[in-house]
């Protein structure tokens, strides 16, 4: 839904005013499973990407917090650790995101994930999978910095003892995701344009070939939609991120608690 709603010059059959209208129209005209197209490639990359992401975050957070605040909880350390962890995460997830978004566009010519990978590789080269990587980082570094700082801040407010508390992890994760998603929507719109390379949109502003780079994407989005163009799909983005970050944090905190408890029991 987010990819479709961020389309800057969509096909007349793929114009949506609200998230509900978009979901209803896609299901009725393109089938029940259409909104989930491309999810398999995302799931494939998510496992290793998140493993590196949280491992890097925990290690850096502890090291930097000890240096900056001598064992205390430093928001600066949380932000830096989250930003560095993003570099590893996005190196895995960026190609998956390119494939997923191309398969989700209206009238997508790709029949399967493999067909999409082969066609993009053949027609645009390997670089196409990383064309939006710098933009992705430019978006995700502030996103993750805001995300981690907000999550740790919320934990300080509703779970000051930092015990395993599923409700607090879900609430903190959801709020952190919503705040970070809303703040970085303009960058996400630019990323979607770089990933999908909408031919109709680009040709309407006399751009031939492939659009590349954050600065060019920002200019093109403004030319096509003005200031409001930067906030296309903000509702869908926040709605998507809230459960996503809530689930991610609650699962992570559970396994962190479970493994730590198991390790302590083994020692005693």
Q: Could you tell me the pLDDT band of residue 14, with boundaries at 50, 70 and 90?
A: low
pLDDT average, residue stretch 30-48: 67
pLDDT of residue 10: 64
Question: Does position 247 have pLDDT exceeding 80, yes or no?
Answer: yes
Q: Could you tell me the pLDDT band of residue 154, with boundaries at 50, 70 and 90?
A: very high
Q: Are 150 and 180 in contact (CB under 8 A)?
A: yes
pLDDT above 70: percentage of residues in the chain? 80
pLDDT average, residue stretch 11-24: 68
User: Which of 234, 226, 239 has the alpha carbon at shortest distance from 192?
Assistant: 234
**CB proximity list for 202: less than 8 A, separation 6 or greater:** 208, 211, 220
Q: Rounded CA gap, 256 and 267, in Å?
A: 17
pLDDT of residue 38: 58
Q: Are 145 and 79 in contact (CB under 8 A)?
A: yes
Q: Could you tell me the pLDDT band of residue 33, with boundaries at 50, 70 and 90?
A: low
Q: Could you tell me the pLDDT band of residue 123, with boundaries at 50, 70 and 90?
A: confident
pLDDT above 90: percentage of residues in the chain? 25
Specify the range with the lowest mean pLDDT, choosing from 67-71, 127-131, 169-173, 178-182: 67-71
Question: Does position 268 have pLDDT exceeding 80, yes or no?
Answer: no
pLDDT digits (tens, 9 = 90+) for 177-188: 999 999 999 888
pLDDT average, residue stretch 75-92: 90
Specify the range with the lowest mean pLDDT, choosing from 90-99, 135-144, 208-217: 208-217
Q: Three-state SS across the chain?
A: CHHHHCCCCCCHHHCCCCHHHHHHHHHHHHCCCHHHCCHHHHHHHHHHHHHHHHHHHHHHHHHHHHHHHCCCCCHHHHHHHHHHHHHHHHHHHHHHHHHHHHHHCCCCCCCCHHHHHHHHHHHHCHHHHHCCHHHHHHHHHHHHHHHHHHHHHHHHHHCCCCCCCHHHHHHHHHHHHHHHHHHCHHHHHHHHHHHHCCHHHHHHCCCCCCCCCHHHHHHHHHHHHHHHHCCCCHHHHHHHHHHHHHHHHHHHHHHHHHHHHHHHHHHC
pLDDT of residue 152: 93
Question: Does position 201 have pLDDT exceeding 80, yes or no?
Answer: no
Q: Radius of gyration of the chain from Cα atoms?
A: 20
Q: Are 10 and 233 in contact (CB under 8 A)?
A: no
pLDDT average, residue stretch 132-157: 89
């Amino acid at each position: 839904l987010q990819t479709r709603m961020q389309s800057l010059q969509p096909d007349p059959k793929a114009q949506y005013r609200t998230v509900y209208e978009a979901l209803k129209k896609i299901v009725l005209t393109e089938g029940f499973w259409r909104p989930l197209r491309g999810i398999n490639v995302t799931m494939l990359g998510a496992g290793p990407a998140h493993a590196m992401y949280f491992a890097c975050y925990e290690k850096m957070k502890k090291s930097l917090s000890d240096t900056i605040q001598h064992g205390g909880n430093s928001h600066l350390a949380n932000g830096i650790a989250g930003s560095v962890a993003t570099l590893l995460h996005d190196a895995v997830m960026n190609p998956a995101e390119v494939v997923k978004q191309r398969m989700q566009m209206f009238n997508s010519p790709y029949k399967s994930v493999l067909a999409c990978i082969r066609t993009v590789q053949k027609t645009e080269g390997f670089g196409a999978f990383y064309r939006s990587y710098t933009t992705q980082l430019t978006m995700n570094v502030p996103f993750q910095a805001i995300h981690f700082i907000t999550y740790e801040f919320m934990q300080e407010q509703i779970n000051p003892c930092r015990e395993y508390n599923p409700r607090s992890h879900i609430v903190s994760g959801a709020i952190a995701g919503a705040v970070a998603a809303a703040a970085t929507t303009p960058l996400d719109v630019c990323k979607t344009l770089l990933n999908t390379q909408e031919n109709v949109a680009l040709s309407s502003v006399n751009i031939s070939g492939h659009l590349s780079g954050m600065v060019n994407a920002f200019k093109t989005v403004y030319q096509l939609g003005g200031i409001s163009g930067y906030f296309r799909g903000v509702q869908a983005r926040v709605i998507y991120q809230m459960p996503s970050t809530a689930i991610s944090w609650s699962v992570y905190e559970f396994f962190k608690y479970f493994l730590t408890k198991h390790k302590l029991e083994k020692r005693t």
